[in-house]
Amino acid sequence: MGLDIRWPIGIMFTLISVLLIIEGIATGPSDKALGMNIDLWWGIVLLVFGVGMLLGASQGGKKKNEGGK
Amino acid sequence: MQPIHLAWVDYAILLAYTAFVIGIGWALRRYLKTSSDYLTSGRSIPAWVTGLAFMAANLGALELVGMAANGAQYGIATAHFYWVGAIPAMIFLAVFMMPFYYGSKARSVPEFLNMRFDYRVRCVNSISFAVMTVFTSGISMDALARLLNLLLGWDYNFALLITSAVVLVYVLKGGLTSAIYTEVLQFFMIVLGFAPVVWLGLKDVGGWSVLKSKLADVAQHPAALALSDKTFAPDAWSSAWKPVLAGPDANPMGVGAFPMIFGLGFVLSFAYWCTNFLVVHRAFAAKDMRAARRTPLIATVPKMLFPALVILPGMLAVALAVMPEKAYRLPPVSIADTKYAPAIADLKAATPATADAAFDKISQEVGLKMNKAKVAAIIKANSLHPIPDNVLKDELQDAVSDNYYNGVILSLIKRYCPSGIMGLALTALLASFMSGMAGNVTAFNTIWTYDLYQAYIAPKKSDRHYFIVGQATTVVGIILSIFCAFFASHYSNAMNIVQLVFGFVNAPLFATILLGMFWARATGTGAFLGLLGGTLTSALFHALTLATGDVPGIKGGYIHVVQMFPSEMAQNFWLAIFAFGVSFALTVVISLATKRTKSDAELKGLVYSLTPRLKDDERHFLLRPSVLGIILLLACVILNIIFW
């Protein structure tokens, strides 16, 4: 199928990670989350995941194009 | 339960997810040209995508919520649904069955049954499966609408219609590919949305070794949490095998080793993973035979690890509940709105002197098990200083001691998630409800269009015609699901009966397909009558047996109770064993007594002994399905030993 699923996954999680990081910086650590700034830390984890997916998708796209030629 | 207040960031995450699933459907529509593109993805999807979708299709919200509930009720032995049940069945599907399913070029399981046996077997299977998918998706949508109503205070009808509309838009445009892609998205949502909750829970309890010692307290005094009236050995919640091997009385599931290994591990799990078109459909969409066989194998890897994400939260919840300093209790069953008024009137009328009599009366009126000390305390406080009605209502609810296990996962999300992570976790839950509907609707589509419409109603039309019928069926399927959801919200008992009846079909069907694939002598008549006989056996078995603590009726035993089981789970496992056994034996006997209608040539590619062995052409020895299967099976055995 023409659409590489890694693009939407990567873009969506990158977007969500930015939202979480902003929320984390704005509100600081939370008592609910045992005094940790879980939004910030988990936002960073999601950012790494999202960017990783995007990198994978762009690499995959390149390979396919080269193979096609 | 008090509605949760969501912040802007939570809504933003929810909206982002919704926008992406609709966007995926929209982006895919231009790639869909034929009915097979729409209904079976034109066999074009890479293995890692179908593999994750294969796993996620089963990962509906009912599974997420239910596994945490079982984790609380039964402890780590719940993992047998994964480590004994799912994994071996998925490996068997990949190594032995997929060559026939995928190689036959059938587009659905009923179509395979038609090729191997005859139209009768196909007809029975496709009708029962089509009805089941619609009801399952209805149940899932009803649960979602209730959740949104309870959690966010949304109107039930509004919640039901808006979520159905989202599913409609992306499935209508993108068909099966859309459903598969969003399942992959949902898979990552669930992993990344639940992991922080589990991690915070584990940290709060104090790590694995503290968890184990707290679970030992739980096992020795389960009555303190209203989990069970019995007492168990300290490891009953934290060991997977020792309590099961010690016999049905020694574990909270009430299941012994034989029904666990043969009933769950062999019959029920193989029946589900190897014959249920909802999951097998994902592998049919793979781009080639190699990808199709790899689909279930890839799915086993996350499946093996998922107990940490879905069962562990339940175990954490019971451990937290026995730690007074954590101020956590298992969520109680809600008192129905109509039952408050008389109970509150009695509370007010009672005095400390009449507390005992009032307690019995109130328990009866509410219809739930109540905590005697708490009710007495309310009566005492009220007789000193009259308490306003709304406070009494909350206190009465708090005095309920029956646990609402399905609420465990939500109670943990509420406890640990600040805004932001809260939105992520709730979106994960919502995603799994919606993809549950999408998965069922796409399966319904295919079965209706190919196995009922094309086979019996309007054969030999153009592909364009079936493409349009497929799209129309999407709309019809969703409308039917909405009706089923309303039906479920009004007659929850009727829904239980429907689910029960479908449970009767599964185990016998596995005998039919197993014999079909591995025994050339099995005939259409044998399979058809065997399937019917097995299903009747299920119904009869259910009517004659009962689990301890249940009353005859929908739970079984309504003709006459011949056999009692220590738990519903044990009753279920034994039912599957009997139904499978009868279906297997009947199919063999009747097949031997009837003439074969299909020649060896016709059965080539459908039966093991008449099909040339597949040559594994993988570049590397380790990548062959059989070798991979053995490696994965070993990994699963190691997991079982670690948590023995």
All structural domains of chain B with their residue ranges: 8-323+422-490+622-642, 337-402, 492-612
- The model carries a pTM of 0.88
Q: What is the mean pLDDT of residues A39-45?
A: 92
B15 at A interface, C-beta within 8 A: no
Q: Which of A16, A20, A33 sits opposite B416 (nearest CB)?
A: A33
What pLDDT shows up at residue A69?
Answer: 31
SS3 B286: strand
Q: Which CATH class is domain B8-323+422-490+622-642?
A: mainly alpha
Amino acid at B550: D
- In B545-595, where does DSSP find H-type helix? 568-593
Lookup: tokens for B126? 């496709």
- Contact yes or no for B311/B67 (Cβ under 8 A): yes
Do B24 and A8 make contact, defined as CB atoms within 8 angstroms?
yes
What Rg, from alpha-carbon coordinates, does chain A have? Answer: 16
Does the structure show a pLDDT above 70 at A1? no
Lookup: tokens for B488? 């479920």
Q: Which residue of A lies nearest to B19 if distances are taken between CA atoms?
A: A12
Please tell me the distance from the alpha carbon of residue B381 to that of residue B137, in angstroms, as a whole number: 47
- Which candidate, B588, B580, B634, B637, places its Cα nearest to that of B269? B580
Give the number of residues written for chain A: 69
- Cβ-based burial of B496 (10 A; exposed 0-12, middle 13-18, buried ≥19): middle
Do B203 and A22 make contact, defined as CB atoms within 8 angstroms?
no
What pLDDT shows up at residue B201?
Answer: 93
- Contact yes or no for A55/A17 (Cβ under 8 A): no
Running DSSP on this structure, what letter comes out for residue B559? S
- Measured distance between the N- and C-terminal CA atoms of chain A, rounded to whole angstroms: 19
Does the structure show a pLDDT above 50 at A68? no
Do A22 and B9 make contact, defined as CB atoms within 8 angstroms?
yes
Angle at B268 between CA B264 and CA B270, to 5 degrees: 110
Please tell me the distance from the alpha carbon of residue B129 to that of residue B299, in angstroms, as a whole number: 23
Amino acid at B15: L
Q: Which of B38, B44, B192 to probe by mutation at the A interface, max A CB count within 10 Å?
A: B192
Q: Which of B44, B196, B415 sits opposite A1 (nearest CB)?
A: B44
A19 at B interface, C-beta within 8 A: yes
Count the Cβ atoms, other than its own, within 10 Å of residue B506. 23
How many Å lie between the alpha carbon of B24 and the closest alpha carbon of chain A? 8
- Contact yes or no for B517/B607 (Cβ under 8 A): yes
Lookup: tokens for B585? 């034996």
Count the Cβ atoms, other than its own, within 10 Å of residue B551. 10
Lookup: tokens for B32? 């869909």
- Which candidate, B415, B431, B489, places its Cα nearest to that of B4? B415
A33 at B interface, C-beta within 8 A: yes
A17 at B interface, C-beta within 8 A: no
Do B421 and A20 make contact, defined as CB atoms within 8 angstroms?
yes
What pLDDT shows up at residue A67?
Answer: 42
Q: Which of B5, B22, B419, B427 to probe by mutation at the A interface, max A CB count within 10 Å?
A: B419
Do B424 and A42 make contact, defined as CB atoms within 8 angstroms?
yes
Question: Which positions of chain B have pLDDT values less than 50?
Answer: none
How many Å lie between the alpha carbon of B41 and the closest alpha carbon of chain A? 8
Q: Which residue of A lies nearest to B18 if distances are taken between CA atoms?
A: A12
B20 at A interface, C-beta within 8 A: yes
**pLDDT digits 0-9 by tens, B562-610:** 888 888 888 888 888 999 999 999 999 999 988 888 888 888 878 887 7
Q: B627 Cβ partners below 8 Å, 6+ apart?
A: B621
Q: A41 Cβ partners below 8 Å, 6+ apart?
A: A24
Q: How far is CA B296 from the centre of its chain?
A: 17
String of b and e for B415-454 (b: at least 16 CB within 10 Å)? bbbbbbbbbbbbbbbbbbbbbbbbbbbbbbbbbbbbbbbb
Q: Quick one: CA torsion of B335, B339, B345, B347, rounded to 10 degrees?
A: -30
Does the structure show a pLDDT above 70 at A62? no
A11 at B interface, C-beta within 8 A: yes
DSSP string, A7-51: HHHHHHHHHHHHHHHHHHHHH--BTTTTTB-HHHHHHHHHHHHHH
C-alpha distances (whole Å) from B420 to each of A22, B11, B189, B230, B316 are 10, 9, 14, 42, 23
Among left, alpha and beta (phi > 0; psi -120 to 50; other), residue B547 is beta
Lookup: tokens for B45? 């999807």
How many Å lie between the alpha carbon of A11 and the closest alpha carbon of chain B? 9
Q: Which of B9, B41, B44 sits opposite A23 (nearest CB)?
A: B9
Please tell me the distance from the alpha carbon of residue A17 to that of residue B339, in angstroms, as a whole number: 45
Lookup: tokens for B586? 């009947």
pLDDT interval class at A19 (50, 70, 90): very high
Q: Which residue of B lies nearest to A8 if distances are taken between CA atoms?
A: B20
Please tell me the distance from the alpha carbon of residue B63 to that of residue B428, in angstroms, as a whole number: 13
Please tell me the distance from the alpha carbon of residue B638 to that of residue B644, in angstroms, as a whole number: 9
- Measured distance between the N- and C-terminal CA atoms of chain B, rounded to whole angstroms: 38
Please tell me the distance from the alpha carbon of residue B299 to that of residue B292, in angstroms, as a whole number: 12
Q: Which of B32, B188, B189 to probe by mutation at the A interface, max A CB count within 10 Å?
A: B188
**Can you tell me the ipTM of this complex?**
0.91
What pLDDT shows up at residue B561?
Answer: 84
A12 at B interface, C-beta within 8 A: yes
Please tell me the distance from the alpha carbon of residue B430 to that of residue B20, in angstroms, as a whole number: 14
Cα dihedral sign, B535-B541-B544-B547 = negative
